[in-house]
Chain A
Amino acid sequence: MTTEAIRPDHQVIYGIVEPGSRVLDLGCGEGDLLSLLTSGKGVKAQGVELSEPAIYKCVEKGLSVFHGDIDSGLKDYPDKSFDYVILNQSMQEVKKVDFVIDEALRVGGRVIVGFPNFAYWRARLRLFFKGKTPVTYSLPYRWYNTPNLHFLSISDFKEFCADKGITIESEYFLGRNRGQQFLPNLFALNAVFLITAGNNRKER
């Protein structure tokens, strides 16, 4: 597999995950990321996915996957069942984000969250000058067909973590094909965060 073929967010996540760890990917789609992690890092992978055709693709790839939604996919797992819980491009589609993040932190030691940045400069321009809902590379949908229920910026997510006492272990900001570190809330299309339940976090 050439690195060019691998999506930049997948490359970032691949870099984060330690070999041989247990990984739960919520909203794993057709299992591209999990396949990458399984073959390259020897992780023990489990996916959760709502789309039936995507389930077939995952099983074709030899992955273990549960058919269901993310909101209800976590509750049956005991605490710390996984080393990593991944919510890549799926957090913005769940109904109750704070509940899912809480559950993800309970079930996994570390949580990897990846989402499109709503405050990307082109999105801002489109809203400001055209008065229209942003459509960007990372937010390609129209207002009437988007699966996204929540629209957030990088700053929004950092504030959310601060409010909830969640520790941000590391953060990665992505442009179209590579990293975008300069003024990320303005110039990054996507962000990936590695978060843990902070020390000052109230025990649930």
Chain B
Amino acid sequence: MTTHGNAGTIKVQYYTFAEPPKELKLESGQSLGPITLAYETYGELNKEKNNAILVGHALSGDAHAAGLREGAGVKELGWWDSMIGPGKAFDTTKYFVICSNVIGGCKGSTGPSSINPKTGRPYAIDFPLITISDMVNAQRHLIDHLGIDKLLCVVGGSMGGMQALQWVASYPERVRSAIPIATALKHSPQQIAFDEVGRQAVMADPEWREGNYYGLGQPEKGLAVARMIGHITYMSDQSMEEKFSRRLKEKNYSFRFKTDFEVEGYLRYKGDGFVRRFDANSYLYITKALDYFDLSGGITRHPGRPIDTKFLVIAFKSDWLYPSYQAQEIVKQLKIRHADASYCEIKSTYGHDAFLLEAEEQTHLISHFLKKVYKDKEGR
């Protein structure tokens, strides 16, 4: 029985706000406006408006989290289709699921490739630096627009998990539960280092042209290399062994600088695919937002105040990009604040990608967790 795309055919929607002079104040001190957010929704918002779940996407994700995208030539499944839909972890017969593209992104929300109304040209690197907190503030406008006072849950993997944590930090009274997956309270030097190598690959490409490449073509080589590095960090030694081993594309070594190994072909394929769908400047902005993220000083700003949001923290054993000790740092903060929380380190060989691939285990944990939170409607 296939349940692929059972969330239905989905139409992307847009919400524009922060029109000047009511621009969004950013963490950097700069302002941004107007802002458009591209978003999709799955399921129905109930009358009490207490069944809404906000899903945050990762670095290269977008608003298309589930179902089939309307109008797409090929049937394009959402990036978390295995988790969102009727009967799935985020059961759309019960819950109203929302996913929006982050600001700074390039999938319909305002980002460096959007037109700057002041100049009539793309912002490029005149776009202000944004943070996870800015992304969440923008999402809060969307949630207000949808008439939702309190979210049943905020969830996401990787950068999506950071958004879940930031929601609790920024708007604790508006989040009943949070599910941060394969994520951290802050980027470690190793994580920053990988991001910086990716950014340098983009910026070292002469096609980058100090960010002003719009209309001329992307810095494809640099962005592809950045994506190749990324993919290595999303897999594990074991998953690469299982997927590629040392298998060759041809019978023998070429003794030339060709793609001899399957793993090389895979990385090139992924890199080439990425440059067709992702804006290089967005890559720079979003990785910077990841690196700036730091809630290690406290998920809530008020010391001594307990955390009322219920938590389910998930990590994966073979994830070396966001190792489980980082999830345990989150748990540590929750313990100190007496939060009602669960934590599970799921056994998986997929590395960081596990949050996209290990649907069965996550479904088991998440569906029961949500059922409990939804049942305790009034909260504590």
Contact = CB atoms under 8 A, between A and B. Distances in A.
A and B associate:
yes
Nearest to B331: A66
B342 A64 contact: yes
A62 interface: yes
B342 A59 contact: yes
A55 interface: yes
B364 A52 contact: no
Given A66-B331, A76-B332, A56 B364 contact: yes
Contact of B368 (A52, A60, A68, A81): A60
Interface in A58-91: 58-60, 62-68, 76-78, 81
B338 interface: yes
Interface residues of B, number: 24
Contact of A77 (B335, B344, B368): B335
B344 A55 contact: yes
A44 B342 CA distance: 13
A62 B347 contact: no
B79 interface: no
Contacts of B312: 59
A175 B338 CA distance: 37
Interface string B332-355: 100110101111111100000000
B344 A59 contact: yes
B341 A66 contact: yes
B11 to A, nearest CB: 34
B17 to A, nearest CB: 37
B127 interface: no
Interface in B310-335: 310, 312, 328, 331-332, 335
A64 B344 contact: no
A55 B342 CA distance: 9
Contacts of A64: 310, 340-342
Name the residue in A58, A62, A63, A64 with the highest tally of chain B Cβ atoms < 10 Å from its Cβ.
A64
A77 B335 CA distance: 6
A59 B369 contact: yes
Contacts of B364: 56, 59-60
A13 to B, nearest CB: 21
B343 A62 contact: no
Q: How large is the interface on A (under 10, 10 to 19, 20 to 34, 35 or more residues)?
A: 10 to 19
Contact of A59 (B331, B338, B347, B368): B368
Contacts of A78: 336
B277 interface: no
B244 to A, nearest CB: 28
Interface in A94-142: none
Interface string B227-255: 00000000000000000000000000000
B365 interface: yes
A40 to B, nearest CB: 18
A67 B368 contact: no
A76 B336 contact: yes
B372 interface: yes
B345 A67 contact: yes
Interface string A175-190: 0000000000000000
Contacts of A56: 344, 361, 364-365
Given A60-B368, A76-B336, A77-B335, A66 B347 contact: no
A69 to B, nearest CB: 12
Given A76-B335, A77-B335, A81-B338, A67 B343 contact: yes
B321 to A, nearest CB: 20
A64 B310 CA distance: 9
A56 B310 CA distance: 17
Contacts of B368: 59-60, 62
B347 A52 contact: yes
Nearest to B346: A52
B342 A65 contact: yes
B335 to A, nearest CB: 4
B330 to A, nearest CB: 11
8 contacts: A52-B344, A56-B361, A64-B310, A65-B343, A66-B343, A67-B343, A76-B332, A81-B338
Given A52-B344, A65-B342, 9 more contacts: A52-B345, A56-B364, A59-B369, A60-B368, A64-B341, A64-B342, A66-B342, A67-B345, A78-B336
Interface of A: 44, 46, 52, 55-56, 58-60, 62-68, 76-78, 81
Interface of B: 310, 312, 328, 331-332, 335-336, 338, 340-347, 361, 364-365, 368-369, 371-372, 375
Task: Give me the 9 closest cross-chain CB pairs, A-B, nearest first.
Answer: A62-B372, A76-B332, A76-B335, A66-B343, A67-B344, A59-B368, A55-B344, A60-B368, A64-B342
